[in-house]
Amino acid sequence: MTLAVDVTGLNKSFGAHHVVQDLAIQIETGKITGFLGPNGSGKTTTLRMLCGLLTPDSGEGRVLGLDFRKDAEAVKRQTGYMTQRFSLYEDLSIAENLDFVARVHELDRRRERVRDSLDRLGLTARKTQLAGSLSGGWKQRLALAAAILHDPKLLLLDEPTAGVDPKARREFWDEIHGLSAGGMTVMVSTHYMDEAERCHDIAYIAYGKLIARGTAEAVIDQSGLVTFRAEGPGADRLARDLATKPGVVMAAPFGAALHVSGVDRAALDAAIAPYRRPPLVWTEVQPTLEDVFIRLMSGAEDTFQ
């Protein structure tokens, strides 16, 4: 097993705000790692430090086998970065944007690469259209095509599917898995749980610290969370009552049903005992990743506030 990313002691502050704190992260070559965490937890900052867009205050390690601080230029050349906001030129056409990226990376067989990329995107017929006139889903596909035009070994995606429809998201993830199968290492930050589950690995950070790491199953298991699901008329209305009971970490409606979770099984049982009566039907279920993350988020807040 080789590591595409292996950094430790990563720190970054903006003024008094310590955005990334002593972060250590290893990412296996060829894996897709989901980068999760609440807004402002330091995901974007970490990605930007890895691709040389921000200078870390401290930290060391290797990215693609290179010292990521000293050889930032060399790392840049082998890294693709797709920004959270669409950051290609809206007043250039699709083909002109790709052509610019190819030139700035000094790629050989430029015309061929751009042509192939357009073909893959299915945008050959619309290549003279301005990038700004594309819909959200197409912009995102174009941005991905631009980020991988130079065949990077490491691909960093910052919330790539925000505001994109489900079909386009599905296709996007198929593409990411295709790239990963071809040996590309991918780091993707996201807020979507279904996307997190599509990743080989998950890294959960909150308030600049790495809180959980591993496969989705492992993260769920490690959480020690016990979840009960109540179904029946009015089940979802009980959330507010149950949330305040001792032993209940959270109670959240899921459509007409209710998920109640806690870490202490006995206390949780005691808390829901008064509600164990018809017409409600209670079953113990596997906690979802979302349950775990909401738990992690509130846990992290407790620690850092």
CA–CA gap between residue 44 and residue 155 (Å, rounded): 14
Select 150 or 229, whichever has its Cβ closest to other proteins.
150
Task: Catalog residues that contact other proteins under the rule CB under 8 A.
Answer: 48, 51-55, 73, 76-77, 79, 81, 83, 85-90, 101, 104-106, 146
Peptide linkage before 279 cis (omega within 30 of 0): yes
Select 33 or 97, whichever has its Cβ closest to other proteins.
97
**Over 146-170, what HEC string results?**
HHCCCCCCEEEEECCCCCCCHHHHH
Residue 157 pairs in a beta bridge with: 82, 188
| Residue 33 main-chain phi, psi, to 5 deg | -110, 125
CA–CA gap between residue 138 and residue 144 (Å, rounded): 10
Please give the structure tokens belonging to residue 288.
Answer: 């979802």
Select 52 or 61, whichever has its Cβ closest to other proteins.
52
CB of 108 to other proteins, least distance (A): 15
**Over 72-108, what HEC string results?**
HHHHHHCEEEECCCCCCCCCCEHHHHHHHHHHHCCCC
CB of 55 to other proteins, least distance (A): 5
Select 2 or 87, whichever has its Cβ closest to other proteins.
87
CB of 77 to other proteins, least distance (A): 5
Select 41 or 79, whichever has its Cβ closest to other proteins.
79
Pick from 204, 216, 219, 195: nearest CA to 42: 204
Select 78 or 213, whichever has its Cβ closest to other proteins.
78
CB of 146 to other proteins, least distance (A): 8
For CA atoms 226, 231, 236, 240, the dihedral sign is negative
Select 106 or 302, whichever has its Cβ closest to other proteins.
106
Enumerate residues 6+ apart whose C-beta is below 8 A from 276: 282
DSSP structure class, residue 210? E
Select 156 or 179, whichever has its Cβ closest to other proteins.
156
CB of 148 to other proteins, least distance (A): 13
Q: 53 near 87, Cβ under 8 Å? A: no
Pick from 251, 87, 105, 83: nearest CA to 157: 83
